[in-house]
Amino acid sequence: MDVIYPQCCGLDVHKKTVAACLMTSTAGTEPVKEIRTFTTMTTDLLALADWLREAGCTHVAMESTGVYWRPVYNLLEGQFELLVVNAQHIKAVPGRKTDVKDAAWIAELLRHGLLRGSFIPAQPQRQLRELTRYRSILVQDRARALNRLQAVLEDANLKLASVVTDIYGVSSRAMLEAILAGQRDVAVLADLARGRLRAKRDQLKQALAGRVTAHAAIIAWRMDGLNVIRLTGWSRGLLHARCLPAPVGRPAVRSVEKHTAGSTSWQRLM
């Protein structure tokens, strides 16, 4: 069989180790195999890159094993022609012997050009893809948090959603925080409405005349859906940026001490 890549390497990537088989082919002779094992620590992966570069390796192939291939790919990117291969594709190639190590088999297939690499976008596109997927998760988490909060409000017979459009808008949030602080006067709570919602203060008084137990108050406080909304806004700001800055001001999580000290006690939530 024709040799396509005379200097190539196959990597068997695991969580803690990477087995590398460097295969060097010379016309008329058997290929020379050299197998080494490296840890997945950055220093060892850099040593792997130095070893392959000094040996004149041009192509490197690895299986797409979970997420473990990503740091290896990131450190080797730009130094070699990299192929991330679907494990099912490698298994489908006939001729593998049971006593051949994975790294050696990958190198053997790569040497003859029998591997088809998966599409791996450029680093900026990978970062943008990861960011947009993470933001989608945050948006879903926000929706679930609001649904759970709405269920708690219904259990307490607070019909706030029947009057306001967004139960976590500015006015609604102020009312909910006042309720968690122990305020039960519906007139005072309705007076927290802002903008056009102030025209519905009479309806708000009826909607806020519920029965908030300590159980419901504790659950609503523990949900802390506001923090999820802030995270969603934070991710949206990163999405509009052209780069990925490190999050400097992460939203603070409200501590238990803040809500159990001073005037805000569990007795006030009764």
Condensed to tens digits (0 to 9), the pLDDT of residues 207-237 reads 998 888 877 777 777 665 445 445 545 545 5
Given a contact cutoff of 8 angstroms between Cβ atoms, the answer to whether 106 and 90 are in contact is yes
What phi and psi, each to the nearest 5 degrees, are found at residue 9? Answer: -145, 140
Mean pLDDT of 158-177: 88
Give 40-70 pLDDT, tens digit per residue: 999 999 999 999 999 999 999 999 878 999 9
Give 99-139 pLDDT, tens digit per residue: 457 899 999 999 999 998 999 999 999 999 999 998 888 88
Compute the half-sphere exposure of residue 84: CA atoms within 13 Å on the CB side of its CA: 18
Question: Mutual orientation of helices 225-240 and 123-155 as an angle, nearest 10°?
Answer: 160
Give 71-94 pLDDT, tens digit per residue: 999 999 999 999 999 887 777 676
Helix H or strand E encompassing 258: helix 256-260
Compute the half-sphere exposure of residue 105: CA atoms within 13 Å on the CB side of its CA: 18
What CA–CA distances, in Å, run from 214 to 51, 182, 191, 195?
Answer: 64, 10, 24, 31
